[in-house]
């Protein structure tokens, strides 16, 4: 079944709904006191939108026709082909030189037209989906016949009911296991937590503030145009008709905020099973994770609430200091910069560090609603209508699985927060708030990113008994998590010992005990997408990134002849440059021998784009492309992080690592915006830390770059400065690179 929407049908759609919504709104305003009236109003509005769509663009059976092998083949190329075949037949009859020459010229024109059409077709695909890596990857894989690289579809042998039963049983099994492990600790722990919270209640958030039409319109127009199965109309059409429905939508949202009630139709979710990794067996249910797709309007309402909730958390400093998940100006890279900085400084002091990466089983899906509401009330200070809104949001939620155009029965959600929602991730971080205080009591450093928690303890080589403190901390974490219906997974928890090699040997036999399971140290661990090794050389990470980058370069090379330079460059940046830039701030001050592999990847990408022979010098090519070499790309990232941190656009834990320079007496340098460079012992260890490299590189910048008033201005000036430094003064006479020129 398929709908066909054109400009005429959109105009007709507007004509149908324009007179209906004002009457719906006027009837509702007279009876807007009860939740039942709110549900009836929302259902009527959604039904009106869907009914009008069925009138102008009804669902019709779609006749499946075999798609042409060459979708770029059009009328123009067909005419060239017909002309060439006609001249070929003429030559075969006459065998004259004149007819043969005419046929060859016609055949050449046909090939040129075919190549032009093919290039134009894929150019439009790349342009429309340049921000969709998944689509670009599947397109390149299809062009290069890399069928193994394309994500497999869900087999027909797995039904929607099978998925629903598996997901429900998984959560029930985890919660039952927790009940069996610690039946009594949970109530005692929760009671103690509530008593502590009552002593120092934070500033209260009693009510949500109503919003105006401009705020709602801004949220809607900036949202992704993805459409859920439960949406009455496509999101794209919804945005086109927004001026006609904005008053109704505004009434729905403000009524929900004021009354503390979430319409029931907003609490239904479609579960789309997503393969965890492309390498897993798609025939096994355990290879999938549930992702919730919610109605578009419900996500708009959640964005309004999240904005006000985050403002309350920010104003009252309620965020966990070392939680980087789902927070503005925070990322996996900033979290890893902080952890790596601490580990390098510890190694510089001759200490050895034990890094423990904890793993949770289905963390988002096992959250207990009653504990979450208690945390929101006593720890966050949400009361009154605002608390009623969260109670309504979490209650009476339903979900069903849709697979291969088949839907399962509805299942009630009694625990957890939707992973595909806007509000779910921030609620999870608030649920985990007490964890930080538990870890601090043991004197253990830590950092969190959503449900990924890493603990690290730095000790002297002869202080082997300190490992017991780490094991004790892990046991307390497990106890707290069990009391809060969270389950640690010992099988996926990893430990690595980091520091000087001679110091590591004394701890090589040390292990951490988790749930009576001994976790031995590993040689490499994956931490938020980056491979850590005991020396923090990041050589395994560099090698893995280079292998992946060269794989994509080979695929792009296979189709380079049908791509324009601009389109090929987009693919290079999407598949190669993004990998070279991923957490590259961790590689600052690494030996050039380690970065050589990255530079070879960049050189190969430049040669592929420009068609440069491998024997030709690569520096002029990189300079012509306005690409910064790898070493300067890393400096760019460090300096950008430094600028954002200094100007309040970075995490507070990075701001703590930077100390402004204030001389004891009046000097000309006091107004130069300098940072204090800390003392380190080893240039190969401590000098690689962010707290050392950031001040060193920052102090080398001219004042006009440091005083840039916006991030975009800073990027332009910084790239120009680094570009001239990388390629010499001769580059200053060429066209200055701009921020639009695909960074480094």
pLDDT tens per residue, range 624-643:
999 999 999 999 999 999 99
Cβ atoms 210, 254 nearer than 8 A: yes
Provide the whole-model pTM: 0.87
pLDDT score of 369 = 95
List, for residues 162-189, the tens digit of each pLDDT value.
999 999 999 999 988 888 876 555 444 4
State whether 486 and 356 are in the same domain: yes
Q: How far, in Å, are 337, 498, 533, 639, 692 from residue 683 at the CA level? A: 18, 17, 19, 20, 10
Which is higher by pLDDT, 651 or 567? Answer: 651
Q: Could you tell me the pLDDT band of residue 73, with boundaries at 50, 70 and 90? A: confident
Write down which residue in 498, 516, 532 finishes a domain: 532
Query: Quick check: is 51 in a domain?
Result: no
Q: 565 and 704 share a domain? A: no
Of 84-88, 184-188, 330-334, the range with the highest mean pLDDT is 330-334
422 has pLDDT over 50? yes
The structure tokens listed for 20 are 């209906």
Please indicate, yes or no, if residue 349 is contained in any of the structural domains: yes
Please count the structural domains in the chain: 4
Claim to verify: residue 342 and residue 470 sit in the same structural domain: yes
Residues 517 and 548 in one domain: no
Q: Which of 571, 604, 625 is the last residue of a domain?
A: 625
Would residue 571 count as lying in a domain? yes
Domain final residue pick, 594, 625, 656: 625
Range of weakest confidence among 78-92, 151-165, 313-327, 544-558: 151-165
583 and 473 share one domain: no
Q: Residue 106: which domain range?
A: 75-127
What integer is the mean pLDDT of 298-309?
Answer: 95
For residue 672, what is the DSSP state? S
Write down the residue that tokens 């209650």 correspond to: 395
What percent of the chain stands above pLDDT 90? 58
Q: Looking at the structure, tell me whether residues 639 and 724 fall in a common domain.
A: yes
Examine the domain organization and report whether 614 and 636 are in the same domain: no
pLDDT digits (tens, 9 = 90+) for 344-393: 999 999 999 999 999 898 888 999 999 999 999 999 999 999 999 999 99
How would residue 22 be classed by pLDDT, with cut points 50, 70 and 90?
confident
| pLDDT value, residue 189 | 46
367 within domain boundaries: no
The answer to whether residues 469 and 548 belong to one domain is no
Q: Which two tokens stand for residue 722?
A: 């680094």
The residue written with tokens 């300067």 in the block is 632
Residue 322 resides in a domain: no
The answer to whether position 581 is within a domain reads: yes
Q: What mean pLDDT do residues 194-216 have?
A: 74
Look up tokens 């929900």; give the residue.
256
Q: Do residues 616 and 669 share a domain?
A: no
Q: Are 45 and 250 in contact (CB under 8 A)?
A: no
The answer to whether residue 498 sits within a structural domain is yes
pLDDT beyond 50 at 71:
yes
Residue 289's DSSP bridge partners are: 274
**611 and 658 together in one domain:** no
Dihedral of CA atoms 568, 574, 576, 580 in degrees, nearest 10, equals 140
Of 8-12, 171-175, 248-252, 471-475, least confident by mean pLDDT is 8-12
Is pLDDT of 649 > 60? yes
Residues 276 and 271: their CA atoms lie apart, in Å, by 14
User: 652 to each of 2, 433, 444, 641, 686, how far by Cα in Å?
Assistant: 51, 17, 19, 12, 21
Q: If we measure between CA atoms, which residue out of 359, 334, 351, 534 comes closest to residue 457?
A: 351
Ranges 158-172, 495-509, 726-740, most confident: 158-172
Residue 670 Cα distances to 655, 676, 716, angstroms: 19, 12, 26
User: Residues 242, 217: contact at Cβ < 8 Å?
Assistant: yes
Helix, strand and coil percent figures for the chain, each rounded to 5: 60, 10, 35
From the list 78, 21, 423, the residue with the least C-alpha distance to 262 is 423
Half-sphere exposure for 637 (CA within 13 Å, toward CB): 22
Residue range 108-128: average pLDDT?
A: 83
Q: Alpha-carbon torsion 298, 304, 307, 312, what sign?
A: negative
Mean pLDDT score of the chain? 87
pLDDT value for 65: 62
Place of tokens 């009693």: 206
Q: Is the pLDDT of residue 414 over 50?
A: yes
Assigned domain for 88 exists? yes
* Contact status, residue 126 vs residue 137, Cβ threshold 8 Å: no
pLDDT above 90 for 509:
no
599 and 499, same domain (yes or no): no
Instruction: Report which of residues 103 and 672 the model is more confident about.
Output: 103
Shared-domain flag, residues 445 and 351? yes
């Amino acid at each position: 079944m398929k709908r066909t929407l054109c400009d005429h049908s959109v105009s007709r759609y507007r004509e149908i709904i324009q007179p209906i919504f004002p009457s719906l709104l006027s009837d509702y305003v007279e009876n807007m006191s009860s939740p039942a009236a709110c549900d009836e109003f929302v259902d009527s509005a959604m039904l009106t939108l869907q009914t009008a769509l069925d009138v102008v663009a009804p669902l019709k059976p779609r006749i499946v026709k075999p798609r042409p092998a060459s979708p770029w083949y059009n009328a123009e190329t067909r005419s060239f082909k017909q002309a060439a075949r006609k001249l070929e037949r003429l030559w075969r009859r006459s065998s004259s030189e004149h007819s043969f020459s005419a046929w060859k010229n016609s055949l050449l024109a046909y090939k040129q037209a075919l190549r032009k059409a093919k290039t134009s077709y894929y150019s439009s695909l790349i342009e429309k989906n340049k921000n969709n890596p998944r689509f670009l990857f599947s397109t390149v894989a299809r062009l290069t016949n890399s069928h193994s690289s394309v994500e497999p579809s869900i087999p027909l042998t797995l039904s929607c009911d099978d998925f629903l039963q598996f997901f429900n049983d998984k959560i029930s099994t985890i919660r039952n296991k927790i009940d069996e492990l610690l039946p009594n600790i949970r109530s005692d722990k929760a009671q103690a937590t509530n008593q502590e919270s009552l002593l120092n209640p934070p500033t209260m958030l009693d009510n949500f503030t109503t919003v105006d039409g401009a705020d709602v319109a801004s949220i809607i127009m900036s949202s992704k145009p993805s459409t859920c199965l439960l949406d009455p109309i496509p999101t794209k059409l919804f945005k086109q008709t927004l001026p006609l429905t904005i008053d109704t939508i505004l009434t729905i949202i403000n009524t929900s905020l004021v009354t503390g009630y979430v319409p029931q139709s907003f609490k239904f979710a479609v579960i789309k099973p997503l393969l965890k990794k492309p390498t897993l067996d798609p025939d096994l249910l355990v290879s999938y994770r549930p992702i919730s797709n919610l109605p578009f309007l419900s996500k708009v309402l959640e964005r309004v609430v999240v904005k006000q909730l985050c403002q309350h958390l920010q104003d009252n400093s309620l965020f966990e200091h070392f939680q980087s998940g789902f927070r503005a100006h925070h990322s996996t890279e900033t979290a890893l910069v902080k952890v790596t900085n601490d580990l390098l400084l510890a190694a510089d002091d001759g200490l050895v560090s034990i890094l423990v990466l904890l793993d949770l089983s289905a963390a988002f899906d096992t959250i207990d609603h009653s504990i979450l509401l208690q945390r929101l009330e006593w720890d966050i200070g949400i009361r009154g209508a605002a608390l009623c809104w969260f109670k309504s949001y979490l209650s009476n939620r339903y979900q069903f699985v849709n697979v291969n155009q088949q839907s399962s029965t509805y299942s009630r959600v009694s625990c957890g927060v939707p992973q595909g929602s806007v509000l779910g991730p921030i609620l999870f971080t608030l649920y985990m708030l007490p964890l930080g205080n538990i870890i601090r009591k043991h004197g253990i450093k830590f950092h969190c990113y959503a449900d990924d928690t890493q603990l690290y303890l730095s000790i002297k080589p002869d202080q082997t008994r300190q490992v017991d403190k780490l094991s004790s901390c892990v046991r307390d974490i497990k106890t707290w998590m069990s009391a809060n219906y969270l389950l640690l997974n010992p099988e996926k928890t990893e430990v690595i010992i980091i520091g000087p090699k001679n110091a590591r040997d004394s701890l090589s036999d040390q292990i951490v005990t988790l749930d009576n399971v001994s976790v031995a140290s590993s040689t490499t661990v994956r931490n938020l997408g980056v491979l850590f090794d005991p020396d923090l050389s990041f050589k395994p990470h560099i090698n893995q990134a280079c292998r992946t980058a060269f794989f994509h370069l080979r695929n792009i090379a296979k189709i380079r002849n049908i791509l324009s330079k601009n389109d090929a460059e987009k693919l290079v940046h999407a598949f190669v440059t993004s990998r070279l830039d991923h957490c590259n701030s961790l590689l600052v001050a690494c030996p050039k021998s380690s970065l050589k592999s990255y530079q070879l990847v960049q050189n190969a990408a430049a040669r592929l784009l420009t068609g440069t022979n491998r024997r030709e010098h690569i520096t002029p090519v990189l300079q012509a492309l306005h690409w910064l070499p790898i070493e300067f790309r890393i400096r760019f990232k460090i300096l950008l992080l430094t600028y954002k941190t200094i100007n309040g656009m970075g995490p507070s834990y990075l701001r703590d690592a930077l100390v402004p320079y204030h001389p004891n007496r009046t000097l000309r340098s006091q107004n130069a915006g300098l940072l204090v460079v800390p003392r380190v012992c080893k240039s190969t260890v401590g000098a690689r830390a962010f707290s050392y490299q950031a001040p060193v590189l920052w102090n080398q910048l001219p004042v006009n770059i440091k005083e840039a008033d916006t991030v975009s201005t800073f990027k332009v000036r910084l790239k120009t400065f680094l570009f001239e430094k990388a390629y010499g003064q001769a580059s200053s006479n060429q066209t200055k690179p701009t921020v639009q020129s695909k960074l480094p």
